[in-house]
Structure 1
Amino acid sequence: MHFLWAFLVGGALCVIGQLLIDLTAMTPARILVLYVVAGVVLSALGWYMPLAEFAGAGATVPLLGFGHLLAQGVVDAVERHGLLGALTGGFSAAAGGIAASLVCGVIASLLSKSKDQS
């Protein structure tokens, strides 16, 4: 049942993003920023953690989950290191995911052949 809820919640988040692309003049880049900021705001209000516990990867993997991860990293770092944690907490919490995406990007660039856009 946990997989079903993860699929439904993650799918609903994707449907909302697709509707924003299709029905508004927003660019995908603005929607990306909107989702990350919405994750931070929902996390700050305390609304995202119950959703993440309920839906698991369906809520933590999308961009909203990245915003939630950044916010939680800042909160944890501020508790441990004081105000300096506000600057370092988000980077520390998301370092693994960011490093993995950079490594995958480098591998993809090495395995593919670039060509001019025309």
Structure 2
Amino acid sequence: MSDASTYLAAFLCGGILCLIGQILIDKTKLTPARILVLYVVVGVILGATGLYGHLVELCGAGATVPLTGFGYNLARGVSKAVAESGFLGTLLGGVTAAAGGITAAVFFGYLAAVLFKSKPKT
């Protein structure tokens, strides 16, 4: 695949995932928090069945950056840890696989809280 087609595939995949989320917000009574949880669960299910891996190969960051990619990463980590450690891997694998992303989210969230002053909604 050329660089341009890789970028296009990533853009389209990420855009479609965002479009689905926006449609769910506009057309259902689901809250954004429930949609986020739904995306992670769908990523876990598709990752556990091996279907999401094909999407990652095709779309790259367009599939790994959204929350479905986080769920896929959790499923992949658990699968690998279970193969290495047995039952204990079900508890440790997901957190180990997602440790970098979790750390970045906590760090940048803290940094934003320190640098910017929050304001109440009006």
TM-score by length of 1: 0.96
Moved beyond 4 Å, runs of 4+: 115-118
CA distance in 1, matches of 2:118, 2:20: 33
Q: Which residue, out of 88, 96, 103, partners 1:99?
A: 103
Structure 1: where are the runs of 5+ without partners? Answer: none
Matched, 1:20 2:20: no
Tell me what 2:13 maps to. Answer: 9
Query: What do you get for the CA RMSD once the two structures are aligned?
Result: 1.1
C-alpha change, 1:109 and 1:37, in structure 2 (3 Å) is same
Tell me what 1:110 maps to. Answer: 114
CA distance in 1, matches of 2:8, 2:83: 35
C-alpha change, 1:55 and 1:116, in structure 2 (3 Å) is closer
* Superposed CA offset, 1:61-113 (max 9, x none): 00100000000000001111111010000000000000001110111111112
TM-score by length of 2: 0.93
Structure 2: where are the runs of 5+ without partners? Answer: none
Instruction: Give the aligned length.
Output: 118
Percent identity between the aligned chains?
A: 59
